[in-house]
């Protein structure tokens, strides 16, 4: 069952009912100022950091769900309704929500009044614009009373939820132009050099800044006393809960339309210019921002700029094929989600509060893989930021703060896969750009400028961190965990509330990870290549030798006979082996070891992938492990804390499905790869939205596995490495167009379903038009001509910037 449809021409998903199976959201903003907005106008916005610079309050895990947002109440002859349906839930004659690239437009209609609310964050600005267009479609004159409403948050969103004894007394506002501009200046009197405001470009009939006066102490958002009465109370907040609400009297003749522009802005003021006069804030920066968006033509221009911005970004990789679901995924929604994950890491979504998680070291490097072709310069900056938080021994904080860019200990350190992800990220960046100079950048450790070395030295310490931390079999020690945060082999927690990720009750150097071994072998050729480029031939030689050695170790002690083992635990016992009662096989080492090429020649790779098919594949995707753990295992940690079929315990982790998909292409089985991909790619799941429940335009982290009560139900959409890895899988390996160090590799492998297609790829300033005739024959080598001339192999040499290259590919 569907709850909307794709409008590919406008690059939108159109939701046709307010009653979707879960709030279906969008993200606004692409650099510093961001907003989450649901199809019912729920959500919030923030400057850079959802905890420390949040403008709007949001209520998590609330009843009903999705409370808090930008609400417009319309009182039409005593009846109050919202174009977004929420929060009054008054029945509408028509409803539509269009989520587009960086904007959302919600339209509601009731009794001849059509109200359309456009929300966007203009590129380069720190404001959310709300343009409300009201049209009288009836034959009567309408006298509407319209009320805007947003609720301020005290800006430290954690404090906002916990420290009422203080923050019920700190709230302060200022009111300007009879209430057309409402300022929130809580804590500005002391250490904050920033404030927020909400403006409307019209004369107002009244305003409110105090929540209780607007709502009534015991009223719900759906029955607020001011809109019900039809009159603002001109309240001035003092402590308690400051809000901003404009009251507008809108008279509309039959057929008449009126448009109002609201600016919800954030400004920073230099410390020595904070005050206009004692107690009165300097409003100049707010006035400047308001002046930029106070006319509908300015909003139109901002929308046009946004559309151009996205057209430019998306033109770096696009496909035309006969499969519209494939086209819209690759051309629009997958790269869009990659941008969002790059910006947010795992911080603010409808499954992450924005309070607990910063930018992940591992996460951000992976996000970069799907993002780097969109804005390589930002990827470069991100690499430097991430590497600057690394420790001198190559290990890493697991996350860092987006505002300060400093590593923090909230999720600790000692995840032994983390260092290697930096090499993946840097290699992807250099493949895209050819910017080897980044390796010479001076980058500090733990943000201490005195320690700076070249970025290449960081990679060296990353690589060698693995070699310095090998276990009894010669496999890498796992530390706190590897990619699977929930495989905590040194944790041994018996105490509720102890973090599985930061607790290490047993200290030992025995627990080893076959997954990290696969990563190590996978990244070694890139590392060796870069070392050679920098003139470190010995280091390159050593890397290759160590990688060969690790491959042997994996094939000897990391092989279980039919598939790759997952790990050795603290006691040296196998994890992910047929010797185990539960979780005999895990997905991660099968994907990563085969991607790294381990066992391709010897036949182990094929065996492992056949075992995945047989034991892990389901109707809705590949589960993480099988059989699931049914009991808590103190020696394994969080993985066994989840009920069977959910999350890391045998859920369908959409993040590592693409590893198997790519691995299938490594052994040439394109049909199977494409079939796997379609099981988790959102556009293909639209018809099953009542089961899947989450947005059909973005990937979710997890779909409940075959052992779960609710098999097929997804959770945790948007912020997941799934976005980047699936982009890599589909764009780089199935469609087969990927930048390499010395040329653009063209090697499609996607089975026979999609016969002909064209990929247009811009890279290093040139444009490549790649026309593929695809027979879908398993494992066949492509035949290429470049500008009419046949070439050997699958590597199209990079062309001069500015040129257009025509590639014909038969495969």
Binding site for ligand BGC (CB under 6 A): 485-486, 501, 638, 647-648
**CA gap 43, 69 in Å, rounded:** 5
CA distance 110 to 114: 7
**Shortest spacing between CB 485 and ligand BGC, in angstroms:** 4
Of 128, 151, 159, 485, the one binding ligand NOJ by CB under 6 A = 485
Whether the CB-CB separation of 206 and 182 falls below 8 Å is answered with: no
Nearest-CA neighbor of 366 among 658, 47, 764, 697? 658
Residue 501 binds which of ligand BGC, ligand NOJ, none (CB < 5-8 A, kind-dependent) = ligand BGC
Neighbours of 25 (CB within 10 A): 23
Identity of the residue, 136 or 717, whose beta carbon is nearer to ligand BGC in the bound complex: 717
CA distances for 606 relative to 230, 359, 553, angstroms: 70, 36, 19
| Partner in contact with 457, chosen from ligand NOJ, ligand BGC, none, beta carbon below 5 to 8 Å by kind | none
352's contact among ligand BGC, ligand NOJ, none, with CB below 5 to 8 A by partner kind, is: none
The nearest distance, CB 250 to ligand NOJ, in angstroms, is 46
Q: How many other β-carbons are positioned within 10 Å of the β-carbon of residue 392? A: 13
Nearer to ligand BGC, 146 or 719 (CB): 719
Select 331 or 722, whichever has its Cβ closest to ligand BGC.
Answer: 722
Nearest residue (CB) to ligand NOJ, 360 versus 376 = 360
- Chain centroid to Cα 444, Å, comes to 27
Give the CB-nearest residue to ligand NOJ.
485
Question: Is residue 707 among the annotated active site residues?
Answer: no
Closer of 88 and 656 to ligand BGC (Cβ) = 656
Task: Give the contacts of 498 (CB within 8 A, at least 6 positions apart).
Answer: none
Tell the smallest beta-carbon distance from residue 363 to ligand NOJ (Å). Answer: 5
**Minimum distance from residue 626 beta carbon to ligand NOJ (Å):** 17
The strand ranges marked E within 735-801 are 737-740, 743-746, 756-763, 766-773, 783-786, 789-791, 795-797
Distance CA(505)–CA(543), nearest Å, equals 34
Residue number, 75 or 701, with CB nearest to ligand NOJ? 701
Residue closest to 133 by CA, chosen among 105, 160, 170, 111: 105
Is 351 in contact with 717 (CB distance < 8 Å)? yes
Q: Which two tokens stand for residue 62?
A: 């609330």
> What sections of 471-533 are H helices per DSSP?
514-533
Secondary element (H or E) of residue 286: helix 284-292
Shortest Cβ 500–ligand NOJ spacing (Å): 11
**Residue 365 near residue 728 (C-beta atoms within 8 A):** no
Closest approach, Cβ 354 to ligand BGC, in A, equals: 14
Task: Tell me the HSE value of 451 on the side-chain side, using a 13 A CA sphere.
Answer: 15
Name the one residue in this structure whose structure tokens are 């033509």: 297
Contact with ligand NOJ (CB under 6 A): which of 368, 369, 475, 486? 486
Q: CB neighbours of 7 closer than 8 A, spacing ≥ 6?
A: 13, 14, 98
Residue 363 contacts which entry, ligand BGC, ligand NOJ, none (Cβ below 5-8 A, type-dependent): ligand NOJ
* Rounded distance between C-alpha atoms, residue 566 and residue 592, angstroms: 11
Partner from ligand BGC, ligand NOJ, none contacting 678, C-beta within 5 to 8 A by type: none
Contacts to ligand NOJ from residues 332-361, by CB under 6 A: 346, 360
Q: Is 362 in the site for ligand NOJ (CB under 6 A)?
A: yes
C-alpha angle with apex 784: 783 to 789, nearest 5 degrees?
130
What, of ligand BGC, ligand NOJ, none, does residue 265 touch, CB below 5 to 8 Å by kind? none
Distance CA 723, CA 701 (A): 9
Near ligand NOJ by CB under 6 A: residue from 484, 547, 584, 717: 484
Stretch that binds ligand NOJ, among 59-67, 168-176, 478-486, 545-553 (CB under 6 A): 478-486
Report helix, strand or coil for 107.
Answer: strand
Is residue 715 part of the contact set for ligand NOJ (CB under 6 A)? no
Nearest approach in angstroms of CB 486 to ligand BGC is 5
Of 638 and 713, the one with the shorter C-beta distance to ligand BGC is: 638
Q: How far is the CB of 591 from ligand NOJ (least distance, A)?
A: 13
Pairing between β-strand 71-76 and β-strand 783-786 as defined by DSSP bridges: unpaired
Residue 51 or 732: which CB sits closer to ligand BGC?
Answer: 51
Out of 12, 569, 648, 713, point to the residue binding ligand NOJ (CB under 6 A).
648
Q: How many other C-beta atoms can be found within 10 angstroms of the C-beta atom of residue 545?
A: 12
- Residue 419 binds what, of ligand BGC, ligand NOJ, none (CB under 5 to 8 Å, by partner type)? none
> Is 483 one of the binding residues for ligand NOJ (CB under 6 A)?
yes
- Verify binding: residue 171, ligand NOJ, rule CB under 6 A: no
Output helix, strand, coil percentages for the chain, rounded to the nearest 5: 30, 30, 40
- Does the footprint of ligand NOJ cover residue 416 (CB under 6 A)? no
Residues 6+ apart with CB under 8 A from 269: 193, 194, 195, 281, 282, 285
Which of 134, 724 has the CB closer to ligand NOJ? 724
DSSP annotation of 535 reads T
Establish if 638 lies at the interface with ligand NOJ (CB under 6 A): no
What is d(CA 333, CA 331) in angstroms, rounded to the nearest whole number? 7
Nearest Cα to Cα of residue 208 among 187, 250, 186, 178: 178
Alpha helices, DSSP H, located in 568-632: 587-595, 604-615
The answer to whether 371 touches 724, Cβ cutoff 8 Å, is: yes
In the bound state with ligand BGC, the residue whose beta carbon lies nearer, of 83 and 621, is: 621
360, interface contact from ligand BGC, ligand NOJ, none, CB < 5-8 Å by kind: ligand NOJ
Could you tell me the smallest distance in angstroms from the CB atom of residue 158 to ligand BGC? 16
The nearest distance, CB 699 to ligand NOJ, in angstroms, is 13
Closest-approach residue to ligand BGC (CB): 485
In angstroms, what is the minimal distance from the CB of 481 to ligand BGC?
Answer: 8
Mask 363-402, x = binds ligand NOJ (CB under 6 A)? x---------------------------------------
Return the number of the residue (116 or 513) whose C-beta is nearest ligand NOJ: 513
Identified catalytic residue from 363, 485, 560, 794: 485
- Is residue 476 near ligand NOJ by the rule CB under 6 A? no
Count of residues near ligand NOJ by CB under 6 A:
9
Annotated catalytic sites, by residue?
A: 485
Where do contacts with ligand NOJ occur on this chain (CB under 6 A)? 346, 360, 362-363, 483-486, 648
């Amino acid at each position: 069952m569907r709850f909307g449809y794709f409008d590919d021409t406008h690059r939108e998903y159109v939701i046709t009912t307010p009653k979707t199976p879960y709030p279906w959201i969008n993200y606004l903003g692409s650099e510093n100022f961001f907003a989450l907005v649901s199809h019912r106008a729920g959500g919030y916005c923030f400057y850079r950091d959802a905890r420390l610079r949040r403008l709007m309050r949001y209520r998590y895990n609330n009843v009903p769900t999705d409370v808090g947002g930008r609400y417009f109440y319309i009182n039409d002859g005593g009846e109050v309704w919202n174009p977004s349906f929420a929060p009054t839930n008054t029945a509408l004659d028509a409803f539509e929500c269009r989520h587009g690239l960086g904007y959302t437009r919600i339209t509601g209609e009731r009794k001849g009044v059509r109200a359309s609310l456009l929300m966007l964050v203009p590129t380069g600005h720190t404001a959310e614009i709300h343009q409300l267009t009201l049209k009288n479609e009836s034959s009567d004159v309408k006298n509407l009373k319209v009320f805007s409403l947003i609720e301020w948050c005290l800006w430290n969103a954690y404090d906002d939820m916990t420290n009422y004894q203080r923050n019920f007394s700190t709230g302060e506002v200022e009111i300007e132009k009879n209430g057309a501009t409402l300022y929130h200046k809580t804590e500005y009197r002391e250490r904050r050099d920033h404030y927020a405001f909400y403006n409307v470009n019209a004369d107002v009939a009244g305003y409110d800044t105090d929540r209780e006066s607007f709502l009534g102490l015991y009223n719900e958002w759906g029955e607020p006393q001011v809109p019900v009465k039809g009159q603002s109370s001109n309240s001035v907040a003092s402590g308690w809960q400051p809000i901003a609400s404009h009251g507008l009297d809108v008279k509309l003749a039959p057929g008449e339309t009126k448009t109002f522009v609201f600016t919800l802005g954030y400004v920073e003021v230099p410390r020595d210019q904070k005050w206009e006069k004692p107690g009165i804030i300097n409003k100049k920066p707010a006035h400047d921002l308001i002046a930029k968006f106070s006319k509908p033509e300015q909003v139109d221009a901002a929308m046009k700029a946004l559309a151009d911005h996205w057209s430019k970004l998306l033109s770096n990789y696009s496909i035309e094929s006969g499969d519209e679901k494939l086209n819209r995924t690759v051309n629009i929604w997958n790269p869009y989600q990659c941008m969002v994950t790059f910006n947010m890491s795992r911080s603010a979504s409808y499954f992450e509060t924005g309070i607990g998680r910063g930018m992940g070291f591992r996460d951000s490097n992976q996000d970069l893989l799907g993002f780097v072709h969109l804005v390589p310069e930002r990827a470069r900056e991100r690499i430097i930021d991430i590497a600057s938080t690394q420790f001198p021994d190559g290990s890493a904080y697991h996350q860092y703060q987006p505002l300060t860019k400093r590593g923090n200990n909230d999720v600790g350190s000692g995840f032994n896969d983390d260092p290697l992800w930096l090499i993946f990220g840097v290699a992807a960046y250099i493949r895209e750009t050819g910017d080897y100079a980044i390796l010479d950048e001076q980058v500090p450790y733990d943000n201490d400028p005195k320690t700076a070395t070249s970025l290449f030295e960081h990679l060296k310490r990353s690589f060698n961190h693995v070699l310095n931390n090998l276990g009894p079999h010669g496999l890498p020690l796992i530390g706190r965990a590897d990619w699977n945060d929930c495989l905590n082999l040194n944790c041994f927690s018996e105490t509720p509330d102890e973090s599985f990720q930061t607790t290490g009750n047993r200290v030992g150097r025995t627990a080893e990870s076959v997954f990290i071994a696969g990563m190590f072998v996978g990244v070694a050729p890139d590392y060796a290549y870069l070392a050679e480029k920098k003139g470190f031939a010995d280091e390159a030689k050593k890397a290759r030798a160590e990688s060969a050695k690790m491959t042997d170790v994996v094939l000897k002690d990391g092989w279980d006979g039919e598939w790759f083992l997952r790990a050795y635990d603290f006691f040296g016992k196998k994890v992910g082996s047929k010797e185990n009662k539960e979780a005999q096989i895990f997905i991660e080492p099968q994907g990563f070891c085969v991607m790294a090429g381990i066992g391709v020649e010897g036949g182990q790779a094929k065996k492992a992938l056949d075992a995945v098919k047989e034991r892990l594949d389901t109707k809705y995707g590949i589960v993480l492990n099988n059989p699931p753990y049914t009991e808590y295992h103190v020696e394994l940690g969080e993985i066994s804390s989840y009920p069977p079929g959910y999350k890391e315990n045998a859920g369908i982790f959409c993040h590592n499905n693409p590893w198997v998909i790519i691995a299938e292409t490594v052994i040439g089985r394109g049909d199977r790869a494409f079939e796997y991909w379609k099981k988790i790619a959102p556009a293909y799941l639209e018809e099953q939205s009542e089961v899947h429940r989450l947005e059909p335009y973005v990937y979710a982290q997890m779909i409940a596995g075959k052992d779960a009560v609710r098999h097929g139900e997804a959770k945790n959409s948007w912020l997941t490495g799934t976005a980047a890895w699936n982009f890599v899988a589909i764009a780089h390996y199935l469609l087969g167009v990927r930048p390499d160090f010395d040329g653009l590799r063209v090697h499609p492998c996607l089975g026979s379903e999609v016969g002909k297609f064209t990929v247009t790829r811009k890279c290093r300033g040139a444009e490549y038009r790649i026309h593929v005739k695809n027979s879908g024959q398993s494992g066949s080598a492509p035949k290429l001509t470049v500008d009419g001339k046949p070439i050997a192999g699958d590597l199209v040499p990079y062309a001069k910037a500015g040129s257009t290259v025509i590639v014909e590919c038969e495969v």
